[in-house]
Amino acid sequence: MRVLHHDPYAPDDDLSTSVGLTTLLAESDIVSLHVPLNEETRHLISARELALMKPTATLVSTSRGGVVDEEALLHAVRAERLHSAGLDVFEREPMGTELSPLVAEPHVVTLPHIGSATEAIRAAMVDLAVDNILDVLTERPARTPLPGSPAVPSAPAGAPS
């Protein structure tokens, strides 16, 4: 299988070839998205990008909701300009009682944001949480600090030093 990737920070390697996004979309049978959601990636896949894809292609997104323009995706699938899609994330989460219209599309597989729900991933998440707690309790920087939190927490007032 020929594997293409688009990542400005990852050159070619033994497993895949780095190409521009336009080439990747036009030549791929399956496009799998693995990006964070930020201003650069919001609606990274919109009507323009979907129009570049093969009508036989499948789009898979396990990134973050908002990376794919869901309205454009819905139109592309309904117009058969894209064969199918698999989504584990949505622009609005949790959806609640008002589900995305993509949920009812026969060529779209949707999951309720459970792509990371494996035993190994959940065990690693617990380990990381425990490591963070131990770091903070021993006045070391947390491994995954919250934005805006101090690098090293100060001891509570009255605590022994």
So what's the pLDDT on residue 161?
46
For 124, residues 6+ apart whose C-beta sits below 8 A from its C-beta are: none
pLDDT in tens, 109-160: 998 777 667 788 888 889 999 998 999 899 898 888 877 776 555 555 455 4
Active site residue 5: no
Among candidate residues 42, 81, 83, 113, the one labeled active-site is: 113
Among candidate residues 92, 93, 122, 143, the one labeled active-site is: 93
3-state SS assignment for residue 128: helix
pLDDT in tens, 9-68: 888 888 999 999 999 999 999 999 999 999 999 999 999 999 999 999 999 998 888 999
So what's the pLDDT on residue 152?
53
Which residue has 């688009």 as its token pair?
6
> Residues 108, 86: contact at Cβ < 8 Å?
yes
| CA-angle at 43, arms to 42 and 47, nearest 5° | 165
Report whether the peptide linkage leading into residue 94 is cis, meaning its omega lies within 30 degrees of zero.
Answer: yes
Q: What is the pTM of this model?
A: 0.72
Alpha carbons 33 and 24: distance in angstroms, whole number: 11
Reference 65, options 18, 20, 102, 97; nearest CA is 102
Active site residue 113: yes
> Residues 107, 124: contact at Cβ < 8 Å?
no
Active site residue 93: yes
pLDDT in tens, 51-101: 999 999 999 998 888 999 999 999 999 999 999 999 998 888 777 667 889
